[in-house]
Amino acid sequence: MEQINYTDQGRFCSGHVACGGCAEAVALRVILNIVGPNAVAVVAPSCTAVICGAWPGSSVKIPVFHTTLESCAASASGVKRALVKQGKDDTLVLGLAGDGGTYDIGLQALSSAAERNEDILYICFDNEGYMNTGGQKSSSTPLNAATGSTPTGKATRKKNIIDILAAHRIPYIATASPSDINDMAAKLKKAISLRGTKFLSILIPCLPGWGIADDSAVKVARLAVDSGAFPLFEIEDGVRVSMKPRDNPLPVAPYLKLQKRYLHLTDADLEEIQANVDSDWQRIQQRADQS
């Protein structure tokens, strides 16, 4: 077991309103610890917005600007440009959104910001659905997952937001997980060191939305990584791929069987999902080998 190399700086306050056991609170604590006080967060409507809260009761010790669901990246771009105009070039601007505000409603603004290579760090807390409004499916929802709007299972696969952004050739893209805090911290530091648009996708198992136990979010996130369902990798300038090795990979079934949204799966469904996971892993690994 890898020892966590982390010292908390107290930039995320207790008393926030995240669900007890929520992995997003863990991720936010790490993010705020790494970015430091010289930062501004632009937050789309989401669980993140609820957790951060509003002044004077915010749970985060940096300024937070709440924007519309579709405009997180556009608003972050504007905040960054205003700071530059004031001579505050070194102030980091974070865009914080869920998968609904990233994969779906906010994709146009995100694509435009990426095309302009705006100097922002955009972080997507990917809980694979519209969990803040009742658990409906998003385009991040995986194949066969049951949601409020797909009660018998989603009929299509999860959108590949990573490759979409890689096609924009932005400086840095990475995936991260609250189960691998050292990896997340290292990727945050790397992203902060670069100019231009940076994108991190962080897997956030949702306790009520996925139907998992209150104390199992990090365990489920770890199984997602170890099975390859959520591989940890980086893409620089849209082409150079590096990937965390997967020694003795676990099958995907134990990860899926901990979640109520997959209780309806047949053996054939499990085989299809496993084949998709293996194929996606091999495709990313091949790109990493060629980088």
**If you average pLDDT over residues 167-187, what whole number do you get?**
97
| 173 three-class SS | strand
Residue 1 has pLDDT above 70, yes or no: no
DSSP of 132-152: GGT-B--TTSPTT---SS-TT
- C-alpha to C-alpha distance for 146 and 261, rounded to whole angstroms: 5
* pLDDT at residue 15 in the model: 84
State residue 231's pLDDT score: 96
- Domain ranges in the chain are 23-290
Is the model's pLDDT at 209 over the cut of 90? yes
Q: Calculate mean pLDDT across residues 218-226.
A: 97
Q: CATH second-level architecture of 23-290?
A: 3-Layer(aba) Sandwich (3.40)
CA separation (Å) from 212 to 34, 100, 109, 154? 29, 21, 33, 19
CB-CB contact of 98 with 47 (8 Å): yes
Q: Mean of the per-residue pLDDT values for the chain?
A: 95
Peptide bond before residue 63 is cis, with ω within 30 degrees of 0: no
pLDDT (0 to 100) of residue 51: 94
The answer to whether the Cα torsion of 223, 275, 278, 189 is positive or negative is: negative
What pLDDT does residue 245 have? 75
Per-residue pLDDT band at 27 (split at 50, 70, 90): very high
Tell the residue number behind the tokens 């890689």, with chain if given.
166
Residue 211 to residue 138: CA distance in whole angstroms? 17
Picking from 153, 159, 155, the residue whose alpha carbon sits closest to that of residue 105 is 159
* pLDDT, mean of residues 65-89: 98
What is the predicted pLDDT for the residue at 88? Answer: 98
Residue 5 pLDDT level (bands cut at 50, 70, 90): confident
